[in-house]
């Protein structure tokens, strides 16, 4: 990837969903930028609003619609001059196409960049999908994978409940071997369904599972990493 030799386009990160996932995404953005000095990194503005209503409750239980909060955060980023908007949260992409429609900024979808990575790197078999209850209910990834010609392997109801418990514990700032063991168990169940590749379709899981995919039963595709790579490519002005 080409290094930044002049000021990049200004990247706006609409975050806070959750805070640790936003920080993790920015860390990945820095790590993957081909920079050897400060001045070669991207120009970035972050609006992190953790008061955005719970996306799970909005989708599954008729809770408050997060759209007004997303619109407000987007407005803050646009007023700061953001030329590119990215959102390191998978579930909230249920709402973003409508909100971004007609806005004077480029929007890079974490869903689209992840499907591109699946098309480039997936091996034979259905694609395992680890996502929140809300994202699964909304069908965000299932529809995109189906449109791209891929089958989908999902955790069983018991394993999905375990996955959501892991997500809640990560949001609470917890970590440790027990969480990793739980996730290894879920990944192993996807392998038994024939999956050889799995999407970490929740950014909290991206903060938990890292390192070489050889450590896990299936090859992992991290949407946060894929979004970071796409953001870098589009933000460097002369690419």
Question: What is the rounded end-to-end Cα distance, in angstroms, of the chain?
Answer: 9
Predicted confidence band of residue 209 (pLDDT cuts 50, 70, 90): confident
Q: Which percentage of the chain shows pLDDT scores above 70?
A: 95
3-state DSSP of 83-137: CEEECCCCHHHHCHHHHHCCCCCEEECHHHHHHHHHHHHCCCCCEEEEECHHHHH
- Strand 106-108 vs strand 127-131: parallel, antiparallel, or unpaired? unpaired
Q: pLDDT tens for residues 127-178?
A: 999 999 999 999 999 999 999 999 999 999 999 999 999 999 999 988 888 9
Residues 104-125 have a mean pLDDT of: 94
> What is the structure's pLDDT at 109?
98
Residues 196-217 have a mean pLDDT of: 85
Predicted confidence band of residue 1 (pLDDT cuts 50, 70, 90): low
- DSSP per-residue string spanning 46-79: EEE-TTSPPHHHHHHH----SHHHHHHHHHHHHH
> What is the structure's pLDDT at 211?
59
Active-site residue (options: 4, 89, 108, 230): 89
Strand order in the sheet with 152-153: 152-153, 127-131, 197-201, 219-221
> What is the structure's pLDDT at 238?
53
> What is the structure's pLDDT at 176?
85
Greater pLDDT, 214 or 186? 186
Selection from 4, 187, 21, 213 nearest residue 110 by Cα: 21
> What is the structure's pLDDT at 126?
97
Domains of the chain: 11-109+226-235 (3.40.50.1860), 111-222 (3.40.50.1860)
Active-site residue (options: 202, 205, 225, 236): 202
Predicted confidence band of residue 4 (pLDDT cuts 50, 70, 90): very low
Q: pLDDT tens for residues 16-55?
A: 999 999 999 999 999 999 999 999 999 999 999 999 999 9
The answer to whether 202 is a known catalytic residue is yes
Residues 107-127 have a mean pLDDT of: 95
Q: pLDDT tens for residues 52-111?
A: 999 999 999 999 999 999 999 999 999 999 999 999 999 999 999 999 999 999 999 999
The answer to whether 89 is a known catalytic residue is yes
> What is the structure's pLDDT at 83?
97
């Amino acid at each position: 990837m080409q290094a930044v030799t002049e000021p990049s386009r200004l990247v706006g990160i609409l975050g806070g969903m959750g805070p640790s996932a936003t920080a993790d995404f920015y860390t990945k953005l820095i790590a993957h930028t081909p920079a050897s000095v400060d001045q070669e990194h991207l120009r970035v503005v972050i609006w992190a609003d953790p008061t955005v209503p719970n996306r799970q409750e909005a989708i599954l239980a008729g809770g408050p619609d997060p759209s007004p909060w997303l619109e407000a955060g987007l407005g803050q980023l646009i007023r700061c001059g953001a030329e590119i908007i990215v959102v390191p949260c998978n579930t909230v992409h249920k709402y973003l196409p409508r909100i971004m429609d007609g806005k004077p900024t480029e929007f890079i979808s974490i869903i689209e960049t992840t499907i591109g990575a699946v098309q480039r790197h997936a091996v034979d078999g259905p694609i395992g999908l680890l996502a929140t209850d809300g994202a699964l209910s909304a069908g965000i990834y299932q529809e995109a994978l189906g449109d791209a010609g891929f089958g989908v392997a999902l955790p069983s109801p018991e394993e999905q409940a375990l996955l959501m418990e892991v997500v809640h514990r990560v949001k609470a700032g917890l970590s440790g071997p027990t969480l990793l063991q739980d996730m290894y168990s879920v990944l192993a169940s996807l392998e038994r369904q024939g999956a050889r590749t799995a999407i970490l379709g929740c950014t909290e899981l991206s903060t938990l599972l890292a390192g070489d995919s050889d450590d896990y039963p299936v090859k992992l595709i991290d949407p946060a990493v894929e979004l970071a790579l796409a953001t870098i490519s589009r933000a460097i002005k002369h690419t």
